[in-house]
Structure 1
Amino acid sequence: MSGIGSGEGFWNPIVWTLLALGVLGLAYALWLQGRRTYKRGTEQEEPFLSGERLPEEGSHIRGEHLYWGFVAGLRPLIETLRAFHTGFIGDYIGWLVVVLGVAILVVML
């Protein structure tokens, strides 16, 4: 089979399409092997939150309560990043240029 050889890899659209279809076929075959015990209208449709039953009223749980451990652990990093936040688009563009410059240097060297 002829394809495009770049020295870094091989590209043949027909081969890659067949490979993608094969992977999708394998995924579908695995899906067919799954359990068929799901029942609509039963307890299986209720939300699961750490094994707790949610009350009917006031059951809205905000994300900050679910991830408080991550936020508490990363608080020093968050506060450091918050100090850099100015809201001025020129600052963000400057950071983008600096990071891209460093990335280009790393790739070229």
Structure 2
Amino acid sequence: MRLVTGQGYWSPLVWLALAAGVAFFGWLFWRLGRRTYKAGTDQDAPFLSGEAAPERAHVGGQHLYWGFLQGLRPTLEALRVFHSGFLGDYVTWTVVVVAVALLVVMLT
């Protein structure tokens, strides 16, 4: 079976053979891996820079995103000016952006 398009042809058998080849090489790569892993030991524990984790450790969200927020601080401060908290403003912006996007799509 062959589907001829303006850009070439599409054959499901070629794609099936390609998927089988990728699966085979993935399996082969997995088989060549190390066999030293032991489940239920310290190898299952997360690596926390070599330190033992406290029993009931909890990492808050403000700590998790700290670097992300620091890197984007100028952008976030600029966007904070536009934040009103009023849902109608966000709906209006969404309608305007969708209308502009549709206009661009229809004109191109």
Instruction: Give me the whole-angstrom Cα distance separating, in 2, the residues matched to 1:74 and 1:82.
Output: 12
Instruction: Give me the whole-angstrom Cα distance separating, in 2, the residues matched to 1:74 and 1:100.
Output: 30
Q: Which structure's CA Rg is the greater one? A: 2
Identity across matched positions, percent: 47
Match of 1:70 in 2: 68
Q: Residues 101, 79 of structure 1: CA spacing in aligned structure 2 closer, same or farther, 3 A cutoff? A: farther
Q: Which stretches in structure 2 are left out of the alignment for 5+ residues?
A: none
Q: TM-score, normalised by structure 2?
A: 0.73
Instruction: Give me the whole-angstrom Cα distance separating, in 2, the residues matched to 1:93 and 1:48.
Output: 47
Paired residue type of 1:77? T
Instruction: Give me the whole-angstrom Cα distance separating, in 1, the residues matched to 2:63 and 2:52.
Output: 16
Match of 2:17 in 1: 18
Q: TM-score, normalised by structure 1?
A: 0.72
1:94 CA displacement: 3.1
Match of 1:50 in 2: 49
Q: Which stretches in structure 1 are left out of the alignment for 5+ residues?
A: none
Higher normalized contact order (CA 8 Å, seq sep 6+, divided by chain length): 2
Q: Deviations over 1:3-33 (max 9, x none)?
A: 2222223211111111111111111110111
What root-mean-square deviation, in Å, do the aligned CA atoms of Structure 1 and Structure 2 show?
A: 2.5
Misfit runs of 4+, over 4 Å? 82-86
1:47 CA displacement: 1.6
Instruction: Give me the whole-angstrom Cα distance separating, in 2, the residues matched to 1:51 and 1:93.
Output: 51
Match of 1:94 in 2: 96
Paired residue type of 1:96? V
